[in-house]
C-alpha cells in the first residue's frame, strides 16, 4: 500500500473540513426549521384568539398575553396610531391630554401614539418588521417606566392596504433573543393578521351604527341610539364641546280598558312629540326600553339641557293621546345628565342620566291615570 502524497492528504483534510461545515449548516437548517415550525404553531393559536370577539378592547388583553406567553417574552406593547381605534376601543387613551398607557396584563400594555393634529404619524414610515436593541427601541417608542427592561425587541408594523394601525412591540431582556439578520417573514404575517383583525373590528362597529330603526316608533332603536351616544361622546371629548343626555320614561296605563293594542300608537304619538322638540341635527332620539327613550343633545350644556327637559315635559303633559272616546294622559319623567371631565366612557353619562331619572321616580310616585272623554 502506497503512502498518500502531501497533496492527497491535504485534499482529504479539506474534504473532512467541508463535511463538518456541511453538517453544521445542516444542523442549523434543521434547528431553524424546528424553530419555524414551533413559531408557526404559535401563530395558529394566536389566530384563534383573533377570531374570538369583535370587541377589540377585550381582544387586545387576550392577544397580548397570548403573544407574551407563546414567544417567551418579558414585555409586549400594542402602540395604537389609528385615532378611530383609540376612540372606539380605548377612549381613556384617546384624549391627547389624558392617560397614555392601558395595562392589559403583566408586562402587556396598550399605548396611544396617534397624531392628534392631523399630521402624518412618523411611525407610519416603518414598513417592515425591525429587530432592534433596547436603545434603538427607546428612540422610536416612549415606553412606560414600569415596562420590563428591553435587551432586544421586534417592532412589527400593523398595516393592511393603505391603513396604518400602529406597531406591535415584542420585547425580551435577553440581548440575543432578537438579532439583526434573523428572518422576519412570520412576524410580518402576524402583523398583517392583527391589522386585519383591527380593520374587521372597526367595520363591525360601523355596521352596528347602520342598524335598523325601532319598528313601533320609527326612532333609532336600542342598538343605534347606543352607537350614536358612543360617537357623540367621543366627539365631545375630542373637541372639548358640551354634550347632554335626556332619559325619558313614560307613565301611562291603558290596560284597564283592555286596549293593549294602543301601546304602540301611544309610543308613536310620543315619538312625534319628541321629533317636534328636537328637529334634525339638534338631537338624536331613540327608543331605549318598553316605554323609555333617550335623547342625545350635542353641544347642549347642563343649563340648556334643563330648558329642553322642561319644554319636553310640558309638551307631553299637554298632549294626551286621543282615539275615538278615549284620551290617555301621559306623564313623563325625565332625567338629565351633562358631560363632565370625570366621565371616561359614554356609559358614565348614561348612568348619570338614569340615576337622575330614578331619583325623579322616587320623588314623584304619581298614580297612573286614564281618562275617558265624551265626544262633544
| Same domain membership, residue 50 and residue 104 | yes
| Structure confidence at residue 37 as a pLDDT band (50, 70, 90) | low
212-268 pLDDT tens trace: 678 888 899 988 899 899 999 999 999 899 999 999 999 875 443 455 677 888 899
| Same domain membership, residue 132 and residue 271 | no
Which of 66 and 39 is assigned the larger pLDDT? 66
250 part of a folded domain: yes
| Structure confidence at residue 370 as a pLDDT band (50, 70, 90) | very low
The predicted pLDDT at position 210 comes to 64
pLDDT, average across residues 66-92: 89
| Same domain membership, residue 269 and residue 161 | no
| Same domain membership, residue 171 and residue 30 | yes
75 part of a folded domain: yes
Which of 198 and 11 is assigned the larger pLDDT? 198
Domain range for 174 is: 6-206
| Structure confidence at residue 165 as a pLDDT band (50, 70, 90) | very high
Share of the chain above pLDDT 90, in %: 38
| Same domain membership, residue 303 and residue 275 | yes
Q: Report the CATH number that the domain containing residue 25 is assigned in CATH.
A: 3.30.450.40
| Same domain membership, residue 120 and residue 33 | yes
1 part of a folded domain: no
| Same domain membership, residue 199 and residue 215 | no
Last residue within a domain, chosen from 169, 187, 206:
206
Q: C-alpha distances in angstroms, 191 versus 91, 131, 194?
A: 23, 14, 5
| Same domain membership, residue 327 and residue 202 | no
296-349 pLDDT tens trace: 999 999 999 999 999 999 999 999 988 877 788 888 999 999 999 999 999 999
The predicted pLDDT at position 4 comes to 57
The predicted pLDDT at position 333 comes to 93
As a whole number of angstroms, the distance between CA 213 and CA 286 comes to 8
| Same domain membership, residue 357 and residue 245 | yes
Beta-carbon contacts of residue 347 (< 8 Å; ≥ 6 apart): none
Q: Report the CATH number that the domain containing residue 362 is assigned in CATH.
A: 3.30.70.270
Task: State the total domains in the chain.
Answer: 2
| Same domain membership, residue 160 and residue 13 | yes
Least confident residue range of 8-17, 28-37, 71-80, 335-344: 28-37
Amino acid at each position: 500500500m502506497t503512502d498518500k502524497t502531501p497533496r492527497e492528504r491535504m485534499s482529504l483534510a479539506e474534504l473532512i473540513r467541508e463535511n463538518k461545515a456541511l453538517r453544521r449548516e445542516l444542523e442549523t437548517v434543521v434547528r431553524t426549521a424546528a424553530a419555524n415550525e414551533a413559531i408557526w404553531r404559535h401563530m395558529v393559536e394566536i389566530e384563534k384568539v383573533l377570531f374570538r370577539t369583535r370587541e377589540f378592547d377585550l381582544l387586545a388583553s387576550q392577544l397580548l398575553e397570548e403573544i407574551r406567553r407563546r414567544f417567551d417574552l418579558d414585555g409586549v406593547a400594542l402602540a395604537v396610531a389609528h385615532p378611530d381605534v383609540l376612540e372606539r376601543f380605548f377612549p381613556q387613551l384617546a384624549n391627547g391630554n389624558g392617560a397614555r398607557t392601558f395595562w392589559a396584563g403583566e408586562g402587556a400594555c396598550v399605548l396611544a401614539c396617534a397624531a392628534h393634529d392631523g399630521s402624518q404619524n412618523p411611525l407610519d414610515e416603518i414598513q417592515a418588521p425591525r429587530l432592534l436593541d433596547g436603545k434603538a427601541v427607546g428612540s422610536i417608542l416612549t415606553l412606560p417606566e414600569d415596562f420590563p427592561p428591553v435587551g432586544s425587541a421586534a417592532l412589527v408594523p400593523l398595516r393592511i392596504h393603505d391603513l396604518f394601525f400602529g406597531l406591535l412591540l415584542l420585547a425580551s431582556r435577553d440581548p440575543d433573543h432578537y438579532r439583526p439578520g434573523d428572518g422576519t417573514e412570520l412576524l410580518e404575517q402576524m402583523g398583517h393578521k392583527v391589522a386585519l383583525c383591527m380593520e374587521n373590528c372597526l367595520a363591525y362597529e360601523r355596521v352596528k351604527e347602520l342598524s335598523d330603526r325601532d319598528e313601533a316608533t320609527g326612532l333609532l332603536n336600542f342598538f343605534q341610539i347606543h352607537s350614536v351616544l358612543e360617537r357623540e361622546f367621543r366627539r365631545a371629548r375630542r373637541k372639548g364641546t358640551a354634550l347632554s343626555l335626556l332619559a325619558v320614561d313614560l307613565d301611562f296605563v291603558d290596560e284597564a280598558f283592555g286596549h293593549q293594542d294602543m301601546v304602540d300608537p301611544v309610543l308613536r304619538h310620543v315619538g312625534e312629540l319628541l321629533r317636534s322638540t328636537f328637529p334634525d341635527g339638534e338631537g338624536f332620539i331613540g327608543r331605549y326600553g318598553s316605554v323609555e327613550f333617550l335623547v342625545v343633545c350635542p353641544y347642549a350644556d347642563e343649563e340648556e339641557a334643563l330648558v329642553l327637559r322642561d319644554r319636553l315635559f310640558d309638551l307631553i303633559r299637554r298632549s294626551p293621546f286621543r282615539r275615538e272616546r278615549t284620551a290617555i294622559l301621559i306623564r313623563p319623567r325625565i332625567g338629565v345628565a351633562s358631560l363632565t371631565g370625570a366621565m371616561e366612557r359614554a356609559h358614565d353619562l348614561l348612568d348619570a342620566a338614569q340615576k337622575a331619572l330614578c331619583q325623579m321616580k322616587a320623588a314623584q310616585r304619581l298614580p297612573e291615570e286614564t281618562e275617558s272623554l265624551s265626544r262633544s
